[in-house]
């Protein structure tokens, strides 16, 4: 892969670009399978309609990167700060991914699907998360601060805590017993 190039309909397998810098590259309708981008730097890179399967992006750095209709399946995205993405063009889906210790700030990622993901100790701050789906995901110790979670779906998610005073949650969907976590702010006791 050369910087400043366009790649279309490529199928990458077992590519190792760990600790490398990728700049001003556009990938359209490409599939990445079992590729490694550990601690890589992505600068002004565009991923349009790309799919990532069993890839490792641990501690990668994204600066002004665009993801449009990108799908991640069984990928490791641990420790990524997604806040430096190009906020004008973000659309992705995560299924069975590890997103532990990631940070999202001041982005509009409404309708994003986080399905069966490990999302431990993540931070969401000043986010538009309307209609996002967190089904069957583990959100242990994750923080939602000043987020718009209207119509979000937390059914069958676990270990989440959403501060009802600092987030908008109108019409969000929750399931028991985890929904009891919504009462933590009120310092009340719930008995059976």
Query: Is-same-fold flag (1-75; 99-186)?
Result: yes
Q: How far is CA 6 from each of CA 14, 72, 84, rounded to the nearest angstrom?
A: 20, 21, 22
Tell me which CATH code domain 99-186 carries.
2.160.20.80
The per-residue pLDDT of the chain, averaged, comes to 91
Q: What is the pLDDT of residues 3-59, one digit of tens each?
A: 779 999 999 999 999 999 999 999 999 999 999 999 999 999 999 999 999 999 999
Tell me which CATH code domain 1-75 carries.
2.160.20.80
Place of tokens 């349009």: 48
Domain residue ranges of the chain, discontinuous segments joined by + = 1-75, 99-186
| Percent residues over pLDDT 90 in the chain | 79
Q: Does residue 115 come out as left (phi exceeding 0), alpha (psi in the -120 to 50 range) or beta?
A: beta
Q: What is the pLDDT of residue 112?
A: 96
Question: Does the reported pTM lie above 0.75?
Answer: yes
């Amino acid at each position: 892969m050369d910087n400043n190039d366009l790649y279309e309909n490529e199928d990458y397998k077992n590519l190792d670009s760990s600790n490398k810098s990728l700049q001003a590259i556009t990938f359209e309708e490409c599939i990445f399978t079992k590729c490694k981008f550990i601690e890589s730097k992505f600068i002004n890179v565009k991923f349009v309609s790309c799919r990532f399967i069993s890839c490792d992006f641990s501690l990668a750095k994204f600066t002004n990167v665009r993801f449009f209709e990108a799908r991640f399946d069984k990928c490791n995205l641990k420790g990524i700060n997604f806040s430096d993405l190009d906020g004008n063009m973000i659309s992705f889906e995560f299924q069975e991914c590890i997103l532990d210790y990631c940070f999202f700030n001041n982005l509009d990622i409404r309708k994003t699907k986080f399905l069966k993901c490990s999302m431990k100790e993540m931070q969401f701050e000043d986010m538009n998360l309307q209609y996002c789906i967190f089904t069957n995901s583990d959100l242990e110790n994750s923080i939602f601060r000043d987020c718009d979670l209207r119509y979000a779906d937390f059914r069958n998610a676990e270990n989440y805590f959403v501060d009802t005073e600092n987030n908008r949650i109108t019409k969000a969907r929750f399931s028991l017993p985890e929904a009891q976590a919504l009462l933590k702010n009120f310092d009340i006791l719930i008995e059976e």
